[in-house]
Each structure stands twice: as C-alpha cells, then as structure tokens.
Amino acid sequence: MRKEYMYFYIFTLAFLFSLAQPGLSQQKSAEKCNFPLLPSSAPGGDLVLTVIKENFSFSMRDNVTIDCSRYFPNAPNPLLPNGYPAVIMCHGFGDRKEALDSLAKLQAQFGYCVYTYSMRGQGLSGGQSNMISRIEAMDLVEFTNFIKQDAHTGLDSSKVLIMGGSQGGIIPYMAACMGNLHVRCIISALSSPEFASSWIENNSVKMTLLWSLSYPQDTVRYSPLLQSMHNWVLSSSPDKMDSLIYWLPLQRDFTSLVPQNNVPILLENSWEDKFFNASGNINSIPFVNSPKRYYFGAVKGHGGDTSFTENNWHKNFFNEWFSYWLFNINNGILTRPKYHYAYTAYPLINNMWTFVHDSSAVWPVNNLTNLQLYFHPSHLKTIPNPLNSSAQLNNSVTGGLTMQDAVDMEFTGQQFNSQFQKNQLVFDSDSLLQDTKLMGVPVINLDYSSNSTICQFNFQVYDVRGTNSKLVTRINYTDRHNIVNTRKNLSINGEAHSHLFKKGDVIRIIMTNLDTSPEDTSFLGTNPFVLPVLNNSINNIYLSYNCYVNMQVQYPGTLGVNGNSNITPSDFYLYQNYPNPFNPTTNIKYQIANSGFVTLKVYDILGKEIATLVNEFKKAGIYETQFSADKIFGSQISSGIYFYKLTEGDNMAVKKLLLIK
C-alpha cells in the first residue's frame, strides 16, 4: 500500500471528529481537533499544490440559495488523466461551511477537488432548516449532480466521496437511501436511519434534542414546525408531547428506505452517544444491500469515551475503504469481517473505559445467551423474588417548577434542588463468578403502577469493581398516558452497548427520577440525559417474576474472537492476524489450552526466524500480542509473505501474514 494511503485515514478521522460534536446551546461549543496534512492523491510523492478557492452560490429546486465553496489544484496532474478525486464535506447541525475551510484547503493541496456548503437555514445559506430531513437530503443530491458537471475544477466525476458526522453523516446516507445519490462511496459517522425516534425513545425526550432545537437565529433559522417542536418539548401538556412524538420522525427516519441504497457505505457509532442510539444502525443491518462495513465502539463525538488504541486501529479501517473504493486497489476488503466493535472494560484511562477491539463475520455475533437478573429489595438475582414485594420511587416537585425554569437553571443549584428532589433506588448483583460480556441492547421488563397520569422510570447500568463504579448504559421510559393506580407490565429497550463485566465485578442498576451521572458531566454538564417529569407522583415497581433486566451476553466458554465463535477454552488455537494485509503493525491472538512454556515466532518465506514475539511461561487462556514490522526491518521494510508459528508443549500451529508496503 502506498504511503499516501497510510495517512489518508488521519485526515478523515480528524475531519469526522471535527464534525462529530455539533455546537450546543447553553454556551457548550463544538469541539475541534488538530490534524496533519493530507498526502497526494496521485503516485509520485507528496507534492503540495497551489490551491484555488472559489466561493459561489447554488440555487435549489425551490429557489433557496445555498452558500458554497470549492477548492481545487491550479493545474492538472498528468498522472491522473481523468482528473482529481472529489470530496464533498458535510458539516454537523448548527455549523456552517466555514468550519471546514482549513480542512478543505489542506486536502486540495494534495490533489483533491473539495466542495463544501452550508445546509439550508444554517450559515449564510438561505431558507429554513427542517433539521436533517428529506429536504436537506434532496439538496445534497442536487449539489452532487451539479459538482459532477463542474469541469473547470478538474475533478474526476467517477470518483466522488461524501463524508461527515452527525447531520453530516445522516444526510448523505438518507440521500443514498432515497435512491438518487450516485457517488463512489460514503463515510457516515454518528448516524442512524432512525435518529429522530432515538431522540424521543420510549417517550423520553433527550436533552440533546432540546439543545438542537435551541440555537440562536444567527446559527439556525428553523422552519415553523421546528419552532413549534421547541415549545412542545418545554410544555407540560400531554397533547403537545403527542404532537412531538408524531411529527419528529416524519420525513426524518428512513429505515424503510435503507434497502434502496446501492452506494458502498462505512457506518460508525459510539456506544455512549448522547444523541443517537447505536441500535438504529444495528437494527437496519439486514436491510443494507450495498457493500458495507460497520464499527461500533469508541467514536469521538456526541459525548462518548475515546480510545487511543481504537484511533490507531482506524488507520487500516479507513485505509482499506479508501484504497478499494476510491483508488481501485483490490485489497480483499469484501472478503473479511464486515462488523467491527470494541467492548468497554476496566481499567479506566483518564476516567474513560479501556476499549478492546473485536470483529465478526456475522451480526449479531454468535453464541449469545440471555442473562435475566430479577429485582429484589436492593439486590439483583437470577431467580424471581418469592416475596412479591414492591419498591417506591417518589417524584417530588414544588414551587411550580417548569421545564423552562429547570433548563435555565441547568438542573442544578440551590433553587432547583429545593424544588426538585432527585431520588433513586439501588440494586446490586452478587459478585460475578465468571467474565460476562454484554452484547447489544439491555431490556427492562417493568412491572409498575403510579398515582399520576405521567410517570418516568430511568435505569442506569453500572459496572462496580471494588470502590470504583462507572456507568455502562441506560434504559429510559416515560408513560405519558398512565391509568392512575393501574398495574402495568411491559418491556423497554435500552441503549445498545458492548461491555465486559469481569469475574468478581458487580452489576449495579440505579433507578432514578433524574437521569444524571458523574460520567456525563464532560458533555452534558449538570443536565440530565433525558428531560424529567415535573409533576408529583408515587411510582411503584413490583419486585415480581415480571420485573427483571435481560441482557444478551457471552460467557468465556463461548466467547468468539474475530468471529471464531466455535472455539472453547479447551482448545489450543492460533487466530488469523488482523489486519491482514498490514503495514506496519498487526495483532496476533492465540489461545493456550494448558499452562506451559509458549513461543510465538515470525519467519520469512525462506524459513529464517526474524522475530520472537513470545518466549515465556503462560497460564491457560486467550492472549494477544502485536507484531511491528518496522521495528524488525527499520527503513528496509519490504512487502511480502511471512509466517508466524505458535508452540505450546506438543501443540503447534502456523499461519500466514501479508505485509504490503
């Protein structure tokens, strides 16, 4: 693989990061990242070209004028007879094209025609924003068709890539699913085909929806319907909330259109996204018929934890995608696992989870089983509570507190605390007897009643290790049409996640009337994940056989690595390295059946030993090590086939790896 491709991902990752955090109201600003220069798009080195920037306007089908910019090299490259690849950058909600200016210039310097534009109702573009809808998707289709005919920039109209995060990722995905977008490929981060429903999941309104509806007019000019939605969110009237739940998903969610997409797409989600549940992309996996790759885990933006190791892994993830679709390099990407994820685990690094990478050829991954933990007084157990008792979560609000008041106080301070009392119930499991990996969506089966017509139940799932505890995921539910003092039972889906609870850890569930957590403060501040209910109520949960949390989990006996789910702890096994091909580093996993002396060595094609990666006593278990070719070869690194051999006692296994410069 050429050097220029090795660095292409760095720009892309930084670009998506710069879009992934939409500017927020309440003086919470967008988070921007530094990035290195882009490499050349053509063979022959990293020549920096002189770039021409032109600002222009483009009139849409309804005569709305869109503010645009194009950046392109001042001269053609004879090594690219069909012209330069083109990149359309889409910004996040509440932003504008100017936020992409420096990125676009730098990319154009290395041989790309780059186009940016401010979406309608944002920046200096005309019209009114309909907040990530079919209207904005059709704008992108029209803009894409226009730039393909924009011959004076010297672009190759057959090599157009669109990328962005949040709004910038959703709009191209939506446009492709509408069947009208014809480009080489799409990179869509922090997106979901059911993003609008995710904002109001289980009738609970996320704080980030209110933020997205609250920009000042110099940032977003909202359509009349969106202005009404802002008022509906702040209203205590049930009919206003009914209107929000009806209107928000219309012309925004597009799961039903997903089968129509034929554009190759790379999709990424953060497990801890404060905007959109990753389950939106997970649920639509069976319906995506175009070439696809997925990643769920540590994606910067929307409030999720980040990971240095996962960022480093993204080198090959993005490189392979660009190489195959944009530069026609046959690297076998379509024959390897489509689904990549990183599960969270202790230890904490800077108060963030450690992320452990894995992949699978299928989704959901193999060998999942249901773990049901029943609610008992203060405890979670694998058997129902025989006493059939109940627990009470009171919601006490005084002084005529309104949602606008609470928002203005950012749900904190002496006055707020005097008018709203946060209450919670804590339920702990016994210490786990074995490692248990949560995979997917936790579900609460809730048996409840309330003396109010509106009641809310927020469940937070924690991993407790000794004196440490940290939020893993959550489940929120608001009953906005409750029948007073009537016992109900229903299942409630939570936020998708993958997390490893280690042997000896405790699973803790906190049920609360105000969904705030110390882990949220860096993004949400003192604000809750979902807006609370502001009426007095006594809410009961019945600790019965109908009241439990269900989690799909893997246990050590069935844990699969990179999709090899048929391997058991009694096996001696050497996994295929990943990535493969690689440059310059790759990871090698292996499983030892019995404690003993283990060696793992690398040989060249002539059988000469070139590296010893492991040469020590190991206990039975699964291990992983990294092979870095540049540490062995230095500047003389060369492409080719190599072999790695694992030995333990009489057991021996050999596999092939491929280094591509």
State the pLDDT at residue 233.
Answer: 97
Are residue 312 and residue 429 in the same domain, yes or no?
no
Are residue 179 and residue 122 in the same domain, yes or no?
yes
The pLDDT > 70 percentage for the chain reads: 89
Q: Is the pLDDT of residue 557 over 70?
A: no
Give how many domains the chain has, as a whole number. Answer: 3
- Backbone CA torsion sign across 47, 580, 159, 98: negative
Confidence of residue 349 (pLDDT cuts 50, 70, 90): very high
Are residue 484 and residue 549 in the same domain, yes or no?
yes
At which of 554, 589, 617 does a domain end? 554
Are residue 548 and residue 597 in the same domain, yes or no?
no
Question: Does residue 561 lie in a domain region?
Answer: no
Are residue 321 and residue 421 in the same domain, yes or no?
no
Question: Does residue 213 lie in a domain region?
Answer: no
Q: Is the pLDDT of residue 39 over 50?
A: no
Question: Does residue 363 lie in a domain region?
Answer: no
Question: Does residue 356 lie in a domain region?
Answer: no
CA distance 503 to 208: 35
Question: Which pLDDT tens digit goes with each residue over 356-365?
Answer: 999 999 999 9
Domain that holds residue 433: 369-554
Are residue 421 and residue 514 in the same domain, yes or no?
yes
Burial (Cβ within 10 Å: 0-12, 13-18, ≥19) of residue 605: exposed
Residue type, 380: L
State the pLDDT at residue 28.
Answer: 45
Q: What is the CATH number of the domain that holds 190?
A: 3.40.50.1820
- In 382-462, alpha helices (H): 403-408, 414-419
Question: Does residue 567 lie in a domain region?
Answer: no
Are residue 549 and residue 579 in the same domain, yes or no?
no
Angle, alpha carbons 255-563-355 (nearest 5°): 80
Question: Which pLDDT tens digit goes with each residue over 585-614?
Answer: 888 988 887 888 999 999 887 778 889 999
Question: Does residue 560 lie in a domain region?
Answer: no
Question: Which pLDDT tens digit goes with each residue over 179-223?
Answer: 989 999 999 999 999 999 999 999 999 999 999 999 999 999 999
Are residue 332 and residue 385 in the same domain, yes or no?
no
State the pLDDT at residue 352.
Answer: 94
Are residue 184 and residue 120 in the same domain, yes or no?
yes
Are residue 306 and residue 374 in the same domain, yes or no?
no
Question: Does residue 93 lie in a domain region?
Answer: yes
DSSP code at position 448: E
Are residue 577 and residue 550 in the same domain, yes or no?
no
At which of 502, 527, 554 does a domain end? 554
Question: Which pLDDT tens digit goes with each residue over 263-310?
Answer: 999 999 999 999 999 999 999 999 999 999 999 999 988 999 999 999
- In 200-277, alpha helices (H): 207-212, 224-234, 238-247
* Chain mean pLDDT for the chain: 88
Q: What is the CATH number of the domain that holds 406?
A: 2.60.120.260
Are residue 442 and residue 533 in the same domain, yes or no?
yes
At which of 321, 336, 351 does a domain end? 336
Question: Does residue 582 lie in a domain region?
Answer: yes
Q: What is the CATH number of the domain that holds 624?
A: 2.60.40.1930
